[in-house]
């Protein structure tokens, strides 16, 4: 699934391609469940002749603000991506929605697995309000407050979009590697220095991902590409994610793959030490003492 750097890269590309200011002359929907809350016909009717004012990102969502105040919100999910194509390009097998623009170009939403969604709404808060803060604008003091008292393991917590928005599997692994923290470490066990290190690691790996135009894994049509078909370059800069059995670039130990809360996770077992577990005898003694 495209994460914050990939979605930010797409948004910047759409802005550079001057989609802002374009009028949507016609829309066609080729998979009914792609659009909400309207029917395909209702969506096409409602968006016709709407002008795109601005294009921005919120977490993993692309948000196009229309001139009349409505929002066109796109979530790519697992396999969705946008293509800017020439006039009169025929629909492809996995195209789910096509917007025809006033200058003749077409914006195709391709989604092989059909999980992506497009909302046309006057109230974007219905979709976006429950998201956590943006990690690149969140202050370290606020990050520390959000972590305070959290008992969750670090990897699931970073993936929780209510806690912090935009981080997925790739960048969670990279941030934890960078901060030298084990993904099963409980958030409430971090020292102030480790909290600061994790905060900085998140920002470093996300900014690197944006600078490298996102991460493209594999060569199939389901993998992330930019709207003009360009591949990201950040896969060449990964230190943990997908690096199983390769040497850690920091210490040389082989990267190990494990499963944390149902998600494939990649760590350096030397740099990211597993949290210690109390012995059975110690746990019994503690219960007796506190009982």
The runs of H, that is alpha helices, within 89-191 are 125-128, 140-147, 154-159, 169-179
- β-pairing verdict for 256-260 and 263-267: antiparallel
Q: Which of 156, 257, 263, 269 is catalytic?
A: 263
Q: Among this protein's residues, is 86 annotated catalytic?
A: no
Task: Dig out the tokens for 28 from the structure.
Answer: 């066609």
Nearest CA-CA partner of 155 in 126, 183, 174: 183
- Crossing angle (nearest 10°) for helices 169-179 and 192-211: 130
Cα 23 to chain centroid distance, Å, stands at 28
Q: Is 236 a catalytic residue?
A: no
Identified catalytic residue from 3, 8, 110, 174: 3
DSSP letter (8 states) at residue 181? -
Residue 6, helix vs strand vs coil = helix
- Which of 2, 5, 135, 227 is the catalytic position? 2
Q: Is 263 assigned a catalytic role?
A: yes
Instruction: Determine whether 61 is exposed, middle or buried from the number of CB atoms within 10 Å of its CB (0-12, 13-18, 19+).
Output: buried
* Catalytic, out of 57, 58, 60, 96: 60
- What's the CA gap between 138 and 136, in Å, rounded? 6
The residue written with tokens 């135009």 in the block is 213
144 assigned to active site: no
The residues annotated as belonging to the active site are 2-3, 60, 263
């Amino acid at each position: 699934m495209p994460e914050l750097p990939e979605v930010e890269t797409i948004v910047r590309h759409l802005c550079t391609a001057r989609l802002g200011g374009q009028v949507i002359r016609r829309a066609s929907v080729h998979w009914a469940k792609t659009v909400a809350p309207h029917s395909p016909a209702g969506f096409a009717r409602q968006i016709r002749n709407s002008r795109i004012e601005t294009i921005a990102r919120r977490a993993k969502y692309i948000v196009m603000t229309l001139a009349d105040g409505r929002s066109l919100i796109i979530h790519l999910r697992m396999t969705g991506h946008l293509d800017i194509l020439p006039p009169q390009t025929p629909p492809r097998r996995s195209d789910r929605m096509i917007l025809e623009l006033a200058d003749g170009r077409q914006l195709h939403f391709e989604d092989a697995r059909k999980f992506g969604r497009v909302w046309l709404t006057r109230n974007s808060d219905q979709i976006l309000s429950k998201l956590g803060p943006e990690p690149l604008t969140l202050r370290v003091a606020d990050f520390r407050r959000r972590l305070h008292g959290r008992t969750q393991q670090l990897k699931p917590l970073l993936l929780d979009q209510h806690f912090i928005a935009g981080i997925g599997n790739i960048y969670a692994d990279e941030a934890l590697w960078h901060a030298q923290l084990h993904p099963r470490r409980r958030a409430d066990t971090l020292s102030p220095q480790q909290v600061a290190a994790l905060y900085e690691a998140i920002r470093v790996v996300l900014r690197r991902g944006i600078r490298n135009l996102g991460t493209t894994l594999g060569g199939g049509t389901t993998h992330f590409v930019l709207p003009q078909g360009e591949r990201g370059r950040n896969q060449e800069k990964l230190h943990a994610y997908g690096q199983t059995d390769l040497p850690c670039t920091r210490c040389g130990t082989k990267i190990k793959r494990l499963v944390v809360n149902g998600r494939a996770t990649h760590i350096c077992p030397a740099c990211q030490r597993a949290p210690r577990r109390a012995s059975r005898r110690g746990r019994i003694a503690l219960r007796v003492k506190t009982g």
